[in-house]
Structures are given as C-alpha cells and as structure tokens.
Amino acid sequence: MTYFRIVIICFSVASLTSAKAQHFALSRLFYPNVTLKADYTVPSSLNGTQDYGVSRTGFFGIIPVHSEVQLGYSLRKKFDLRAVHTVVLAQYTQIQPTIDRKNDPENGYKTLSLGVIRLQASIKDRLWVYGGGLGMTETNETFFSPQPFFWGGAARMHILGLRTQIMYGSVLAYNQKLRFVPVFGINKGLGKHWRASALLPFMANVNYKATKWFNVDMLAGLNGYSGGFQVQTPEEKALRRENYRQIKVGVAANAHLFTVLNVSLEAGVTTFRQLRTFNSARENLTSYTPATTPYIGASVRYITSRSRLSSKFTRRMGLGEAGINW
C-alpha cells in the first residue's frame, strides 16, 4: 500500500537500498537529490472477463536541512563526540488503473507525503535513525474523500566497516488501521563488485557494480496503493476504499551520467496481487486476484554536490568519504 512504499523508501534511504531499484551507499542522505519515475504494469486478467493494469508517475526528493557536530563533556568526566543530520523527504505519485485497457477516472489516485529522517550518532550511543511522516491519497474525481496515513519509527544502526551495516527497529503506521511492524536490515559487500541488501519484511536486493558509472540490481519488494473515493447515487453518497497489493521481482540497470544524473531502466513481473474494495464499515464489496504480469519502469535522478557540513559529519563519524555508489 502507499504508506508501505513510503516506509520502505525512507528506511532504505537511511541505511540500505532504494525500493525503487537504484542502488546507493549511505552517503546518498548527504546529497540533495530528486527522482522522477514512471512505471507501467501490463494489463492481465482480473476476473476472467476483464483486464486490469496500473501505471504510475511521480517524484521523490531528499533535501538535507541540518548537519551538526558537537564535542561534549559528561558529569562522569568523559568526552563524547555527537553528530546529527536531518533530511526532509517529499513524495508525489499519480496512480492510474485501467480496466480493459481504458482509463477509469473514478479509479485514478494521487498520493502526497512529507517526512523527516534524522541520523543521530555519538561515541557513547552509537548510531540511531529516527523518522516520521504523514500524507494522503485522494481520487482524481474529488477532493472530499482523502485517505490519510502516517508512519513513525526508530532503528539502531551498527556500521561494521564500509562493507557491512546492520539495522533493527520498528515502524508504527496507520492507513485505515494501525499496524506495528518490526524491521531488520542488512547491507553487505560481497567481493569487489557485489553487494546484498535487505529491509525485512519489505524488500531485498542484490547489486552488481560493473563499472564506476554502471551497475545492475536484482530486486524484490512489496508495493501497491490504498485510496478512497465517493460513489454518488440518487439515493445516497457512499464512501468507498480500495486496496491494491503486489510483490515485484525484477532487474534494473543504472547508469550514472554527467556527474549529476542517474538513469535507471527496470523490468520484471508482479505477482501475489490483490485488489479489494470495501465501504466505510470495512465490509468487503469486491475482491479480485489479478494474474501475474510483466512491468517496466524508468527513472531519472538529479544529484547535487555534498555540503561542507555533511562532509564533516561523515568524516567525524567514520561513515567514509567514498563517492556515491549509484
């Protein structure tokens, strides 16, 4: 669902690999960047008589807003080096399902969200990641039936060198109902060119770095959306909710071009799909399982330079000064 995708993005940005397929190092949090993305799911059988497909377009931005390094002295007469780094995350997506390869305006959605990720590190407390955000999903037909969602979480990170990092924590999220989700992540270098990453239970990824400017991802992850819409009849105006879930398995080729651009092409299949519509009382109205089908996607990311404060943060906390591993 929508908030699942955002949680995946935010916590993956914090330590591992993006759910949108581009591979990167921890240093991505220290570069202002924005990604434009589009993907298309090929229509497949919905109920034996109709086809169902989905297309998405949108952007995701990361903006560092604060970096600070402090030297402290505790009552126990011990020095402590403390650093904090905060980024704002903004996301907008337009979702357009199709029935029998025709756009159905009632089933089109837009989703907008804003979140914050904060890294806090010190010699005494090590490295923690905190995050939270809120947003809404709304049908294209009206502005009067928004589906709000929010999420918040914390995770402890252990940096076991430039080749290995692990993370464990939990996420509390609300989208139609409250959910508590424990998370565990690992980012492990395997030889000179390979790296494996996972953010369980959301996603997993294996990256092959062919050259300094080109790499390939083999990925799997949870995806989907959740939104609300209104149905107006002569008798009443009724509120409906719709959930769509899927698992995506694919391969993405990523090229880092002209210093500031990262271009990605992705293809694979979506499976374990579910489309469900229900009313405000959560009574199930329809439930379908669309067939497994291929998808394709593309994205372009614009990357600026790292700030002086961000560079100071990474040097002091031992996160490394390696360039972006896109």
**pLDDT for residue 321 is more than 90:** no
pLDDT at 326: 31
Task: Give the end-to-end CA distance of the chain in Å, rounded to a whole number.
Answer: 26
Q: Once rounded to an integer, what is the mean pLDDT over residues 268-292?
A: 89
CA distances from 80 to 72, 118, 124, 158, 311 (A): 5, 19, 6, 18, 19
pLDDT at 294: 96
Choose between 40 and 305: higher pLDDT.
40
What tokens were used for 19? 């759910």
Contacts of 210 (CB under 8 A, 6+ apart): 193, 216
Q: Which residues of 108-133 are buried (b: 16+ CB within 10 A; e: fewer)?
A: bbbbbbebebbbbbbeeeebbbbbbb
**pLDDT for residue 290 is more than 90:** yes
**pLDDT for residue 264 is more than 90:** yes
Q: How far apart are CA 278 and CA 100, in angstroms?
A: 22
> Under CATH, which number does the domain 2-316 receive?
2.40.160
CA atoms in the 13 A half-sphere facing the CB of 84: 8
pLDDT at 27: 58
Q: What is the pLDDT of residues 216-263, one digit of tens each?
A: 999 998 888 887 777 777 766 777 888 889 999 999 999 988 878 889
Q: What is the pLDDT of residues 188-220, one digit of tens each?
A: 888 888 989 888 888 899 999 998 889 999 999
Q: For all residues of the chain together, what is the average pLDDT?
A: 79
pLDDT at 279: 83
Nearest to residue 215, comparing CAs of 254, 245, 249? 254
pTM: 0.80
Helix (H) or strand (E) holding 263: strand 261-279
pLDDT at 190: 87
